[in-house]
Amino acid sequence: MKLLEDKILQSGRAINEDILKVDSFINHQVDVNLMIEIGKEFAEYFKNEPITKVATIESSGISPAIMTAMALNVPMLILKKQPSKVLNDNLYQTVVTSFTKGNNYELTLSANQISENDHVLIIDDFLANGETATGAIRLIRMAHATVAGLGILIEKSFQPGREKLDAAGINVYSLARIKKMGAGFIEFIN
């Protein structure tokens, strides 16, 4: 998606070959107009899938997931990274290793919000090693629901995430695919 690639080049900052800061338009400050267009793009790409829900992992995926759910006119699920004092029974849970934070966390989904009749589109901000995406897929499958696909804003194509997901038969649609990056430069796959 050229609009997202241009925004990354204009406002993103490649710190090194692994870290891309997009905090001015995705995960600290949100460019709402960009998120609306992202939602429309995902909805158009996945329009032939019988999607009943959109899911995302808190917190950076929430904005694009909301806009995608709005464009598809379906509810949105938020997969929680932090334990809740009120959400503590009838849960699906799986352990995920965070590349960014370098630790493990327990990803949680309330069983009351999903059924085996659901076809779920997962939206996330980044795809790198694929750990978060595979954790979300595990949760959806624990509920015996169907994973309709995975929409990614920014894919680091030089890391193994897409390869893992392709091997698992997941339909991955990434809006911006980075071939390589380093301090001060970003190169996209065309």
The answer on whether 27 is annotated among ligand-binding residues is yes
User: Does 150 belong to an annotated binding site?
Assistant: no
Beta-strand relationship, 103-110 and 20-21 = unpaired
Q: Specify whether the CB–CB gap between 178 and 20 falls below 8 A.
A: yes
The residue whose two tokens read 């954790």 is 135
Q: Is 12 annotated as a binding residue?
A: no
Contact between residue 49 and residue 42 where contact means Cβ atoms under 8 Å apart: no
Q: Calculate the CA dihedral of residues 136, 38, 44, 119 and round it to 10 degrees.
A: 20
Strand partners, 20: 14
Annotated binding residue 56: no
Three-state SS sequence of 39-66: HHHHHHHCCCCCCCEEEEECCCCHHHHH
* 164 marked as part of a ligand binding site: no
Whether 129 has a binding-site annotation, put simply, is yes
- 24 burial (CB, 10 Å; 0-12 / 13-18 / 19+) is middle
Task: Tell me whether residue 128 is annotated as binding.
Answer: yes
Q: Residues annotated in the binding site, as ranges?
A: 20, 27, 128-132, 156
Q: Residues annotated in the binding site for 5-phospho-alpha-D-ribose 1-diphosphate, as ranges?
A: 128-132
Q: Residues annotated in the binding site for xanthine, as ranges?
A: 20, 27, 156
